[in-house]
Structure formats: structure tokens, C-alpha cells
Amino acid sequence: MTATRPAKDLHAELKMARPFKTVEQELLLNIVRTAAVLEHDMGEALKPFGLTPTQYNVLRILRGTPEGLCRNEVGERLVTRVPDVTRLLDRMERMGLIERRRSGDDRRFVTTRITEKGLKLVDKLDREICGIHERQLGHLGEKKARELIKLLSEARAEL
């Protein structure tokens, strides 16, 4: 196990001149900053594969639903919401990672499925992504990680 660096206070990290107004503000900014740092790191790791974290999320969603999903269902399942799911799917279709087909009964209904190329890519990334998660958060240990999961779930439950 590697040595853990001392935690840096967000106030110092952001070089703030004044204190936070409330503990809730400090907590929220800590959550947002942590999410931004983790997502940036994930984005950097996915760049060599030509993917963004959101595109990787779409591939994982579609891998779990071989029958496919409509655009709205894909959008609802994304970890981070995006304003234009259609354009996201258009880019992924041009990359050959997904395919979309119209239903024979209702031509307005379009089903999105992962392609063989997309499936091979997301399968290839599984081990690499697990390693990234371990590097990013493994230092917390399972007990602290489970407690943080519980606390974040409780925070979302009230929204």
C-alpha cells in the first residue's frame, strides 16, 4: 500500500481569501471539486481510446441492455446528464460504437444498441477502469468508502 498524502483543505486548494459562509457550502464545494478532479482524471485516461467519460458511460449502459434502448432511456441512465443526447449518440454512431434502428411498427421509435466494435472497446477498458478507480479512491479503504457511499446516497435522497 502506498503512503497517503496529507489531505489538502479546499479553502487552501482554491486559494480562497475568505472563509466559507456555511458548512453546507463547504461540503457542496468539496463534493463538486472532488467530482471535477475525478472526472478530469478519468477523461485523461480515456483520451488514448478516443472516448469521453460520458461516451464510456453510454457504452456501459448499452452493454447491459442487449435489446437496446431509446434515446430518452439512455439519457435517463447517464451518471452525468447531458443536454443533447441525440448529438452524443450521433458522434458515437459515426465512430462505429453504436447503431440505431427504427422500429418496424412505429417508425418514430429508434432503438440504440452497442456494436461489436463498441462491445470490444468497453470490454477492453474494464480492467483499466478498475485500476483507475483503485488509484483514485483505493486509499480510502472499504470501510470509509462504504460510509461515503451511504452519506452521499442520503444527501441525494432529499433532492
Return the CATH number of 21-157, one of 3.90.1150.10, 2.70.70.10, 3.40.50.10790, 1.10.10.10. 1.10.10.10
Backbone angles phi, psi at 135, to 5 degrees: -65, -40
Residues 39-58 have pLDDT tens digits of 999 999 999 999 999 999 99
Paired with 114 in beta bridges are 98
* Per-residue confidence band for 1, with pLDDT thresholds at 50, 70 and 90: very low
User: How far is residue 143 CA from its own chain's centroid?
Assistant: 23
Q: Residues 118-131: what's their mean pLDDT?
A: 94
* Per-residue confidence band for 7, with pLDDT thresholds at 50, 70 and 90: low
Residue 102 reports pLDDT greater than 90: no
At residue 102, the 3 state secondary structure works out as strand
Residue 5 reports pLDDT greater than 80: no
pTM of the model: 0.84
pLDDT score for 125 = 95
Consecutive H or E run containing 87: helix 85-94
Residues 77-88 have pLDDT tens digits of 999 889 999 999
- Average pLDDT of the residues of the chain: 90
First-residue to last-residue Cα distance in the chain: 37
